[in-house]
């Protein structure tokens, strides 16, 4: 993935944020991440969250859910913890995390897209969330101190990075000892080559840039995380799956 491809990803999410703010939908097509719809069988987007989770959230936070899973189904959050959401978009996972860690906890959402950050901050204000903060930056260079967060979550964003090794290194850096991750992502079967993945979809659509299962496991172990789990949940293309990724940083 080149710098130009990163810019196309940024433009696609900026367009989605602007469309949502204008009240005209996310503007995405069904090859792209984030197909709009409430159907519980939707492979991307808000259909992957239960009605009890969506209840009480601003409409635009729900509609701006452009991920491929529900990272909060992967990791249990506790009162007082500090959570970081990589690629926080419209803020749904940040707002849900804020409810779970309570007033003594803190949740950071990190995004590179100004339009999404604006939308997320508007959603946080509407929700009355006082323990959440949205930061501008790249997931390859997280603007937080070493050992400053208990949990890192992400929803279909790691695969969009042109430098995934740096993302995984940064995740390990900001985690405290004993910290853990819960990542939803698109992951390829090991049999698929990078060329195979490119044939099945675009970078913007969370397909071409996906890591294989072994690449994910090896990458997380290489940065010092342990008990790595990569579990396929649903097919999104031939040999490509929505997946749950878990691991923790040893004490």
For the segment 159-203, what is each residue's pLDDT rounded down to a tens digit? Answer: 888 899 999 999 999 999 999 999 999 999 999 998 888 888 765
Pairing mode of beta strands 149-155, 175-188: parallel
- What share of residues in the chain are helix, strand, coil (percent, to 5)? 35, 25, 40
Question: Residue 109 has which token pair?
Answer: 């959402």
d(CA 242, CA 187): 6
pLDDT at 77: 97
The rounded distance, in Å, linking the Cα atoms of 183 and 123 is 22
Q: Which of 5-9, 215-219, 241-245 is modeled with the greatest confidence?
A: 215-219
> How far apart are alpha carbons 97 and 83 in whole angstroms?
7
Token pair of 236, please? 């999104």
Mean pLDDT of 12-20: 65
For residue range 91-118, list pLDDT tens digits in order. 989 999 999 999 999 999 999 999 889 9
Tell me the C-alpha distance between 86 and 200, whole Å: 25
**Quick one: CA dihedral 61, 66, 69, 75, positive or negative?**
negative
In the predicted model, what is the mean pLDDT of the chain?
A: 83
Alpha-carbon distance of 106 to 130, in angstroms, equals 9
Say whether pLDDT at 228 is over 60: yes
CA 86 to each of CA 29, 41, 93, 121, 199: distance values in angstroms, whole numbers, following the listed order:
23, 24, 10, 15, 27
Asked if residue 219 has pLDDT above 80, the reply is yes
- pLDDT band for position 50 (cuts 50, 70, 90): low
- What is the token pair recorded at 54? 């969506």
Contact of 27 with 15, CB cutoff 8 Å = yes
Rounded-to-integer distance, Cα 204 and Cα 160, Å: 7
How many CB atoms lie under 10 A from the CB of residue 206? Answer: 29
Tell me the domains of the chain and their CATH numbers: 3-248 (3.40.50.150)
Quickly list DSSP for 12-69: HHHHHHHHHHTTS-----TTSS------TT-SSSGGGS-HHHHTTS-HHHHHT---SS
């Amino acid at each position: 993935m080149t710098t130009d491809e990163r810019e196309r990803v940024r433009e696609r999410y900026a367009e989605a944020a602007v469309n949502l703010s204008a009240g005209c939908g996310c503007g995405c097509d069904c090859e792209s991440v984030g197909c709009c719809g409430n159907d519980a069988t939707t492979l991307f987007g808000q259909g992957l969250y239960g009605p009890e989770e969506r209840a009480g959230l601003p409409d635009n936070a729900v509609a701006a859910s452009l991920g491929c899973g529900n990272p909060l189904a992967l990791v249990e959050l506790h009162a007082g913890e500090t959570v970081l959401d990589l690629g926080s978009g419209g803020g749904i996972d940040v707002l849900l995390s804020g409810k779970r860690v309570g007033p003594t906890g803190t949740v950071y959402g990190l995004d590179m897209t100004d339009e999404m950050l604006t939308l997320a901050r508007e959603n946080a204000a509407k929700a009355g969330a006082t323990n959440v903060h949205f930061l501008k930056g790249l997931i390859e260079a997280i603007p937080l101190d070493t050992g400053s967060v208990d949990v890192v979550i992400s929803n279909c964003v790691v695969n969009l990075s042109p430098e995934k090794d740096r993302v995984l290194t940064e995740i390990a850096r900001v985690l405290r000892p004993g910290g853990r991750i819960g990542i939803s992502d698109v992951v390829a079967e090991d049999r698929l080559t990078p060329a195979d993945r490119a044939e099945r979809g675009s970078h913007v659509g969370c397909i071409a840039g996906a890591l294989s299962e072994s690449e994910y496991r090896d990458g997380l172990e290489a940065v010092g995380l342990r008990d790595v789990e990569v579990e396929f949940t649903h097919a999104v293309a031939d040999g490509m799956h929505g997946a749950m990724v878990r691991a923790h940083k040893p004490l």
